[in-house]
Chains A and B, each alone.
Chain A
Amino acid sequence: MTETLVLRGGTVVDASGSRVADVVVGDDGRIAAVGEQSEKLSADRELDAGGCIVSPGFIDLHTHLREPGKEEAETIETGARGGALGGFTALVAMPNTTPPMDSVSVVQEVIALGEPALTDIIASAAITIGRAGEELAPMAELAKLGVRIFTDDGTGVQDDLLMKRALEYSVGLSPFTGGASVALAQHCEVTALSEGTYMHEGEWSSRLGIPGQPAESEELMVMRDIALAKSTGARVHFQHLSTAGSVELVRAAKAKGIPVTAEATTHHFTLTDAACASYDTVFKVHPPLRGDADVAAVKAGLADGTIDAIATDHAPHCAHDKERPFDAAPPGMIGLETALALAITELDLPIETLVGLLSWKPAKIAGIDDVHGGPIAVGRPANLTVFDPDEAWTIDSNSFASRSTNCPYEGHEVKGKVRHTVVHGEAVVIDQEAQR
């Protein structure tokens, strides 16, 4: 833990640009030196970064760690290990656990369980009690514990007035956050239009006889929350945008200066609803995989900054839970260990843009940019990812650290692999191996 490290021979990329430099990490867990004269920079341990990008560690705004409540599918320990192997140094834990993270005691438990994990575990908390959309959770108490993202993820807050109140209330939480702002993250889905649906509504749902969820189920809530963000001045973060219409709405809102941010998952820019033709429940996810035009719009949104972050929506499920009929199987797919490779393989983006989508932009949304997301500079906490953008590999979920294998990319050939991950100065992944 207290050994010093040098990451040698890589290309350092952070918000200020890229340059070839070695990075020395001190025994205090902070960056001690960044320089080009490698021979002069020595440390207890030397990690080869030749041919690699050295970037600020990745932040996943959207991880389901399943603990407490569904530890057979994932635990904080195993999820964090998978995250570290995927280059993440912080995971924002979603609150749809059992019991849900809607109270001080459960959030404290998650924070405590996260202490020994390989990555930082950032607790989010529910907007409403039990994520039931009826009464507000004690947001100030939760903010005091460090919560900066509130979300009922898995469902959207349906009640317009309750959502408006939550946003209004969130504006006044600064006494409990040391002045920091919080964001309300919305899973946009109007349930009146989505209840009893299991895939995207369109050509494929019509053909397959599976009840479909229309795009407007998502878009109507995006519209509403843009209006509420505008009137309240509160920060709204849109989770897992999946339709072309949603991307366009967010683009227009940002152009008007409305305080909204957005994420897109790896699966919403790599897969379409056509995958459901196999009736393989690994492709069942919320929001559902959409059409080709939606995938193109999400990619364009990532490229032009409309969408701020790539998130995984890592949603582990036991094999026996997925071995149900398509309508009865739980939605979700794992993603921590494939996100970087899919982003590199499927998105044609400059490396600085891509790293920003994975690190400093989500770090800011999560309110952890004092610790994560760079810059890679002397004195900053050493949360770093070293990855080879060109390494080709074949996705095999059985090799993953996650307890679950519901990966929709089995056998896909991709490129881009994490070599080392450093969390608070500790090399938790070295040469693609988790160290504990």
Chain B
Amino acid sequence: MTKHLLSIDDLGRDGIEEILELTKSFAEVSARRIPKVPALRGKNIAWLFYEDSTRTRLSFETAAKRLSADTMNFSVSSSSVNKGESLRDTCLTITAMGVDAIVVRHRSAGVPWQITKWVDASVINAGDGWHEHPTQALLDCFTIQQRFGSLEGRHVAIVGDIKHSRVARSNLAAFTALGAEVTLVAPQTLLPPSLEGWNCKVSHDLDAVLPTVDVAYMLRMQLERQKQALVPTLREYTAGYGLTEQRLDNLGSETMIMHPGPMNRGVEIAPSAADDPRAVITNQVANGVSVRMAVLFLLLGSGGDLGTLPEPESVQPDDGDAR
């Protein structure tokens, strides 16, 4: 694996499979009574989140703690960024404190690539604009593999606001790299202006697609899209592209319902769909921690084994957060 995790394309099928294989070990660690190993003891990871994120940041933070890494949080709202510091200076400042990895989330596409030119640390893309969100795609692949064993030959519909979605871009790349077929389902206004080079089918007819899929992957619908005239009304969007209660009958009994969160219940996904037994939305979240452990370990680990922590009675005081 390379030094950074920027995009799914960088990984390729082999890279994705390597991470997913390792994720199994970390899922096992996560299931332990004390889900913590010393694999990254002494490593320092900085969270650089320029855009609000609760689940991704907490997931990374949990992953780092389970690997015994030290972490520091660069809080953008209360920091020098508000005093006009440039992105480059911020990165140079935090790396001067000695960090091994920067996990970055930014509303602008490409920021993780820019950072790699300025610092020596590993850079992990936790979401850049509309572009990529590779760890989301990896955890989604892992979740599908858990159910079906493999993505080979499976049919996935990614439904909703493809145009503005980094999840859609990363997931399309990852799903197809692992042999799945993908159909994008969206109104024309929420598709990218060009699909040249995209390995997928496109449909505007969710009802025709749903009975054929193994996975219905619903994207979050930003409520402001209506104001931008991308859809006439949210009601019309839900009628055409939402996973409504009526549409649940149209799904196969084994079909997985997925969503990257946070959900707009009643818009892209009906409450009954989100709570349906076929929905694996909380599994996705749980797997997110294991996948991110695998990513951090691959990028920062020495390549040795995970090590084991002593049982609770002999845990040292400085490991208090393991309790």
Which residues of A189-245 are within 8 A (CB) of B? 201-203, 205-212, 214
For A, the interface residue count at a CB cutoff of 8 angstroms equals 22
Do B111 and A325 touch (CB < 8 A)?
Answer: yes
A325 to chain B: which residues have CB within 8 Å?
87, 106, 108, 110-111, 114
Question: A50-74 vs B: 1/0 string, CB under 8 Å?
Answer: 0000000000000000000000000
Expressed in whole angstroms, the Cα–Cα distance for A281 and B109 within the complex equals: 12
Residue in B86, B110, B129, B132 whose CB lies within 8 Å of A323 = B86
A328 CB-CB contact with B under 8 Å: yes
Expressed in whole angstroms, the Cα–Cα distance for A98 and B128 within the complex equals: 33
Total number of residue pairs linking A and B with CB closer than 8 Å: 70
Which residues of A276-333 are within 8 A (CB) of B? 278-279, 281, 320, 323-328
Q: Which residue of B lies closest to A319 (CB)?
A: B88
Query: How far is the CB of A103 from the nearest CB of chain B, in Å?
Result: 30
B142 CB-CB contact with A under 8 Å: no
Expressed in whole angstroms, the Cα–Cα distance for A144 and B109 within the complex equals: 48
Expressed in whole angstroms, the Cα–Cα distance for A214 and B109 within the complex equals: 18
Query: How far is the CB of A436 from the nearest CB of chain B, in Å?
Result: 35
B193 CB-CB contact with A under 8 Å: yes
Given contacts A206-B192, A323-B87, A324-B87, contact A279 B166 (CB under 8 A): no
Expressed in whole angstroms, the Cα–Cα distance for A211 and B109 within the complex equals: 9
Do A328 and B108 touch (CB < 8 A)?
Answer: yes
Given contacts A214-B193, A325-B110, A325-B111, contact A209 B88 (CB under 8 A): no
A211 to chain B: which residues have CB within 8 Å?
130
Given contacts A206-B192, A206-B194, contact A326 B86 (CB under 8 A): no
Residue in A201, A208, A214 whose CB lies within 8 Å of B110 = A208
B311 CB-CB contact with A under 8 Å: no
B88 to chain A: which residues have CB within 8 Å?
320, 323
Interface size class of B (residues with CB under 8 A): 20 to 34
Given contacts A206-B194, A206-B196, contact A279 B110 (CB under 8 A): yes
Query: How far is the CB of B282 from the nearest CB of chain A, in Å?
Result: 28
Do B129 and A209 touch (CB < 8 A)?
Answer: yes
B169 CB-CB contact with A under 8 Å: yes
Do B114 and A203 touch (CB < 8 A)?
Answer: no
Which residues of B188-210 are within 8 A (CB) of A? 192-198
B166 to chain A: which residues have CB within 8 Å?
209
Expressed in whole angstroms, the Cα–Cα distance for A353 and B178 within the complex equals: 54
Most central of A206, A281, A324 by chain B CB within 10 Å: A206
Do B131 and A202 touch (CB < 8 A)?
Answer: no
Expressed in whole angstroms, the Cα–Cα distance for A326 and B109 within the complex equals: 7
A320 to chain B: which residues have CB within 8 Å?
86, 88
B132 to chain A: which residues have CB within 8 Å?
209
B195 to chain A: which residues have CB within 8 Å?
206
B237 CB-CB contact with A under 8 Å: no
Query: How far is the CB of A215 from the nearest CB of chain B, in Å?
Result: 11
Do B131 and A327 touch (CB < 8 A)?
Answer: no
Q: Which residue of B lies closest to A199 (CB)?
A: B109
Which residues of A342-396 are within 8 A (CB) of B? none
Q: Which residue of A lies closest to B110 (CB)?
A: A279
A212 to chain B: which residues have CB within 8 Å?
193
Do A210 and B110 touch (CB < 8 A)?
Answer: yes
Most central of B88, B108, B128 by chain A CB within 10 Å: B108
Expressed in whole angstroms, the Cα–Cα distance for A187 and B198 within the complex equals: 33
Query: How far is the CB of B6 from the nearest CB of chain A, in Å?
Result: 10
A206 to chain B: which residues have CB within 8 Å?
192-196, 198
B128 to chain A: which residues have CB within 8 Å?
209
Do A202 and B194 touch (CB < 8 A)?
Answer: yes
Expressed in whole angstroms, the Cα–Cα distance for A205 and B131 within the complex equals: 10
Q: Which residue of A lies closest to B164 (CB)?
A: A209
Expressed in whole angstroms, the Cα–Cα distance for A433 and B113 within the complex equals: 38
A324 to chain B: which residues have CB within 8 Å?
86-87
Q: Which residue of A lies closest to B191 (CB)?
A: A206
Residue in A203, A209, A278, A328 whose CB lies within 8 Å of B130 = A209
User: Could you name 11 residue pairs across A and B whose Cβ atoms are closer than 8 Å?
Assistant: A205-B194, A206-B196, A207-B197, A208-B109, A209-B131, A210-B130, A281-B114, A320-B88, A323-B88, A324-B87, A325-B108
Binding site for A on B (CB under 8 A): 86-88, 106, 108-111, 113-114, 118, 128-132, 166, 169, 192-198
Binding site for B on A (CB under 8 A): 201-203, 205-212, 214, 278-279, 281, 320, 323-328
Given A209-B128, A325-B108, 17 further pairs, Cβ under 8 A: A202-B193, A206-B192, A206-B194, A206-B195, A206-B196, A208-B131, A209-B109, A209-B129, A209-B130, A209-B132, A210-B109, A214-B193, A279-B114, A281-B114, A320-B86, A325-B106, A325-B111
Return the 10 tightest CB-CB contacts between A and B, nearest first: A279-B110, A209-B131, A325-B108, A206-B192, A209-B130, A203-B196, A209-B109, A203-B194, A323-B88, A206-B194
